[in-house]
Structure 1
Amino acid sequence: MNAKKLMMASLAVLVGTSPLSATAADKWIGYTYSAVSTTAAVKGIERVIEKVQTDTGGALSIKLNLGKTLQIGSNDITQAVGDGIVQFAADGFFLGSVPIGGVLRLPQLINSDTEWKAAVTAMEPYLKKGFEKQGAVYLGQYRYPEQVIFTNFKIESLADLQGKKIRVTSPEQGEFVKTFGGLPLNLPGTEVPTALERGVVDGVITASAGGAKNWHEFLKYNYRFGVNYFNSAVIANKDAFDALPEKAKSSLVAAVKAETDRIDAEFAADEIAQMESQKKSGMTIVGAKPADASQAAKKLEPYWSAWAKEKGPEFVEALKAVRSAIGK
């Protein structure tokens, strides 16, 4: 048994489950990477749980644990679900387990809500297959607003990224930063405030309603250039899900669909509210230059194909499906 499997087995004992099996179908353990209960995402997941418990008359109940309250790393959530350590989760850091999901995060590939919806529809078969290989059922997903650039240095164009250290959440975001001469660093969210304060990083790519909501005091400028989107999959342990009565299954699927759509809408509204709040607090907000948009798309388009080709035929196929769906 390797170190990670041993860790998962030990955690199973602490949580009260056994690896590779779910708890009783009506008593699930849930987990989210978010450590803050007031976010639109956590509130939405809590509504899913409440709706399912009501619909099933309490036959299915889920206890949600926030990030850091269980010994599950952000990058290990899908594995914990597949191993039956927890039976239900929201995972925004699933690319290590389901790398094909990276198609949706390729920089500059998807640039609007309309394109996002079409791309997600095209990707669903690939996501379902990818999570199933990990012992999990893909139920749906929500996303944060478009990821833009926040810095503690003056920024008025992408050229200003030259030589700057920028925190990213994926290798795909890192490629964007490198394309414009910056130095990407992948850090856990919990380390970002200290990294900004000590100069370990000079900026971050996130949303006003995302990371910047918590880190705004360390950030002086916001360049409203949309790099890509950050999404979170809502998943369940396959064995536990398959063991549910049909009514509970359909209730869970329907609740996730309704609430993830609502989370998206609430994040969009919060993005505007947070921008205004951050501006009033002294942050300088700069609109994206049209020339930067055309330049970025031209520079990064070859990367999409190279990225997919390097990873394999299924990635090439998935990228083709998405590009067809969004007309690119």
Structure 2
Amino acid sequence: MKKTLASLTLSAVLALSAAPVASINAWADDVKATAVAGHPPVFRWVKMIPEVFVPTVQKELEGSGHTFTVDLQAGGAIAKVGEELETVGEGLAEIGTVQALFDPAKLAVQNVTYYTPFVSSDVKQISNMMDRLHKEDARLQQAYTDNNIVYLGAPIGIDDYLLMTKFPINSLADLDGKKIAAPGAAINWLSGTGAVGVSGNLTTYYNELKTGVYDGVIVFASAAVPGKLYEVAPNVTRMGLGAQFAGVLGANKDWYDAQPEAVRMALHKGADAAKDWYNDDLTNFAAKALEIMAANGATVVEAPEDMRKAWAAGMDNAAKAWAADLDGKGVKGTEVLSLYMEEMRKAGATPLRNWDKE
């Protein structure tokens, strides 16, 4: 009997030692992550995390032996707007909405769309394009790697930017001397208009319009409605300034690299699902947002084409200056500018100005 037991024990040990690593890693593992967002959950790019990203990852992991739970800390609870990159990169959170728009120094090339207005109002076109370029082009991936971030996906596309003001706009001359707030690099769009550009973001627009800090804001319809900006800036002018790319869903690289392959694959599947949901939901809502604002007392007008062309023609070419500055720092700014503009033209966009060719 002793010999039999010894033989059985040896067989069991040998069987375990011969088991593939993949089988051992497949044993039950509860993957927990904290996700951060500077904006509150009312905004779509935050909402997509609990509503689509997390459920999709969980579904992808069914039968794998892994589970996935997320503690969402939004509205600046851990990271304020513009602090998400550092918070995730330093490991204070595992996942976050990495806002390139509000971190232009560390995510310089990711801001390319904000230096090229009047290119396209099609947010799906820009979102899908930037997602593909991030996955394929090392020049865009490098900025994340340098900050200990892994690009998961779910690009944060922004619908066509509008001008919302306290006063009606009948010509560009009406902007002269007015204080207009804009986010990040979008402040460059006001060059040549006579307006005084002020840096701002969605979390403060309402109160600062109400108290007279601003006379107007450059904003997009899908955010203007939940922010109720039409109450304090009821003149809405559709200038066709363009849809934009503002950020992504990213993960801490050390945490990501430590996860089993099944979890890593599920994270990307979740981000892809979030991208599709986000784009569809945004497109549908943006079309209704202008109607909602009008129904709540706003005056919505379409800027005539000659006004749009005059605005575009009068702007400084901040894109060329931005790209040249990055080139001088060893970052491939001019190459990324040309890449983006060429890809958008190939996709059917008709820019009012070819910023890369001037």
After TM superposition, the score normalised by the length of structure 2 is 0.78
Q: Is the 2:39–2:203 contact (alpha carbons within 8 Å) kept by the matching residues of 1?
A: no
SS at match of 1:195: helix
Among residues 189, 198, 211, which one is paired with 1:176 in the alignment? 189
Q: How does 1:146-165 map to 2 (within 5 A)?
A: 146-165=160-179
Q: Does 1:80 align with 2:87?
A: yes
Question: Which structure has the larger Rg over C-alpha atoms?
Answer: 2
Report what 2:48 is aligned to: 44
Q: Does 1:201 align with 2:202?
A: no
Q: How does 1:1-328 map to 2 (within 5 A)?
A: 26-35=31-40, 37-46=41-50, 47-57=52-62, 58-70=66-78, 72-92=79-99, 93-108=102-117, 110-113=119-122, 116=126, 117-118=128-129, 121-122=132-133, 124=135, 125=137, 126-140=139-153, 141-170=155-184, 172-214=185-227, 215-228=229-242, 229-300=244-315, 302-312=317-327, 314-327=332-345, 328=354
Q: How many residue pairs end up in the alignment?
A: 302
1:54 Cα deviation after fit: 3.0
Q: Is the 1:165–1:202 contact (alpha carbons within 8 Å) kept by the matching residues of 2?
A: yes
Shifted more, 177-186 versus 304-313: the winner is 304-313
| Offset from partner CA, 1:123-169 (integer Å, 9 cap, x none) | 55333211110000112212121111111111134332211111111
Letter in 1 for 2:90: D
1:280 Cα deviation after fit: 1.0
Report what 2:11 is aligned to: none
Q: Rate the CA distance shift 1:87–1:26 in 2: closer, same or farther, 3 A.
A: same
1:315 Cα deviation after fit: 0.7
| Offset from partner CA, 1:213-259 (integer Å, 9 cap, x none) | 31221111000012242522110000111111111111110110121
Task: Say what the alpha-carbon RMSD is for the aligned residues.
Answer: 2.2
Question: What residue ranges of structure 2 are gaps of 5+ in the alignment?
Answer: 1-28, 346-353
Letter in 2 for 1:146: D
1:110 Cα deviation after fit: 2.7
Q: Partners in 2 of 1:185 and 1:301 — Cα distance?
A: 17
Q: Partners in 1 of 2:48 and 2:335 — Cα distance?
A: 32
SS at match of 2:240: strand
Letter in 1 for 2:68: L
Q: Is the 2:38–2:77 contact (alpha carbons within 8 Å) kept by the matching residues of 1?
A: no
Q: Is the 2:161–2:218 contact (alpha carbons within 8 Å) kept by the matching residues of 1?
A: yes
